[in-house]
Structure 1
Amino acid sequence: MFTGLIQATGTLFHKGDTQVYLRWQTASLPPALTDVDLGDSIAVDGICLTVETILPDGFVAAVSPETLDRTSLGRLADGSLVNIESSLRVGSKIGGHFVTGHIDGQGHLESAVATEDSWRLSFTVGDRRVARYIVPKGSIAVNGISLTVADCSSSGDWFAAAVIPVTYHETTLQHLRPGQPVNLEGDVLGKYVEKFVAGGDAPTGDGLSLEFLAEHGY
């Protein structure tokens, strides 16, 4: 589990078809990344990977065919800059939102426009697996970065987010260009709500209904 608050950036290199090597890019690492152990989970551009080998300047992680197929990882060139976050620890502050590191699908940057006090980034989403969870003022992880949806289409196939300068300049968002793919993960809470409203296996066996939610003020 992660929070979507990026702790460092790194450069990615492929080691055959089943491994990637991540080299730290940030000069000063936060404590959470200085004591990485074998088997630890680390999010790389929002993708949960497991540390297999620890190196003086980074680590090596395994990647599965499913990961390569569903994310942008397999198409990143050697030396590409990526966002890095260690897994959430008990007692840690949660400043973003709960991020699992399991990518739902991909989208593409449409535009990045500087405003007076932030950047407004808009994205297109061609994958229904993630578009269905995009709602106004909801949370979404873009390349592992926790963002709030400022505006979106009713179908979720387009959305925009306001990004503060510190987030823009300390992550890979500053390097994105229109048309580039991004990894997207919808809010996990929305997935559970969808299952219950659709009449899934709720604890009571009855599921939830839109009428029940409206009656109780939701």
Structure 2
Amino acid sequence: MFTGLIEHIGTVLEYIPIDSTSSGGGGVSITIGDCAPILVDVHLGDSISTNGVCLTVTEFDQEKTQFKVGVAPETLRRTDLGDLVKGSKVNLERAVTSDVRLGGHVVQGHVDTIATITKRVPDGNAINFTFELRDKQYISYIVEKGFIAIDGTSLTVTHVDHQTAQFSIMLISYSQSKVVLPLKQESSTVNIEVDLTGKLIEKQIEVNLNAQINNKDSALTRLIESIVEKKLQELK
């Protein structure tokens, strides 16, 4: 679990499509450097959020200034990690510990989809970004003034257009030097993780409704039967 408060910006040192080493696992691996400050207490097998994606550390260099992660095919389909190249900057956050203040929101590091930056407009000392989701269905979980994780950064939604599957956020001056978003221009992509709360509520409602519909003695079934009976009586 993460908070969405980025600790450090790292640099991609190597992207290997087929890494046959023991730490590469025979698939895609990414080596990220310039990140010694956050590796002090990190061990092999620990999780680090990399541009919002929860990845497992598989290797360190001898000085512990860089680390390697493997990337699964499903992760490549869901995220834009496959677009990273040598020199790309990435947001990094270690998994939370029990004594961490939750200054952002609960972020799983399980990216739902990607979005494209459609507009980037200065607003005083802030920047207003507008995004369009690749997978439109996720707009249902995005609400104005709600939380969203963009490349792992916990941000507040300022506007939502459910018809176009677009939403906006405001990036304040302080955050602009702490995350990678200001480095991206219009048409660039970002990783999106919607707030888990909306998905949990939707699932619970769906399960509850199905259970009541399939139970002939449930309150919902009786209510529907009552309404239908009343309408039939009105038609007589």
TM-score computed with the length of structure 1 as normaliser? 0.86
Query: Take 2:99 and 2:209, find their aligned partners in 1: how far apart are those partners?
Result: 31
1:54 aligns with one of 41, 60, 64 = 60
Report the alpha carbon displacement of residue 97 of structure 1 after superposing the two structures with TM: 0.5
Q: Residue type of the partner of 2:16?
A: K
**CA RMSD, 1 decimal:** 2.1
Structure 1 unaligned spans of 5+: 212-218
Q: Residue type of the partner of 1:90?
A: S
Tell me which protein shows more helix as a share of its residues: 2
| Partner residue, 1:215 | none
Report the alpha carbon displacement of residue 166 of structure 1 after superposing the two structures with TM: 1.6
Q: Deviations over 1:139-168 (max 9, x none)?
A: 111111111100011347101111111212
The 8 Å contact of residues 139 and 162 in structure 2, kept in 1 or not, is answered as no
Report the alpha carbon displacement of residue 199 of structure 1 after superposing the two structures with TM: 2.9
TM-score computed with the length of structure 2 as normaliser? 0.79
Query: Take 2:197 and 2:83, find their aligned partners in 1: how far apart are those partners?
Result: 30
The 8 Å contact of residues 51 and 152 in structure 2, kept in 1 or not, is answered as yes
| Partner residue, 1:20 | 30
Residues 206 and 41 of structure 1: CA distance in aligned 2, closer, same or farther (over 3 Å): farther
| Partner residue, 1:115 | 123
1:100 aligns with one of 96, 102, 108 = 108
Structure 2 unaligned spans of 5+: 19-26, 214-219, 221-236
Query: Take 1:200 and 1:49, find their aligned partners in 2: how far apart are those partners?
Result: 34
| Partner residue, 2:138 | 130
Matches within 5 A, 1:14-93: 14-17=15-18, 18=27, 19-24=29-34, 29=37, 33-55=39-61, 56-93=64-101
Residues 22 and 105 of structure 1: CA distance in aligned 2, closer, same or farther (over 3 Å): same
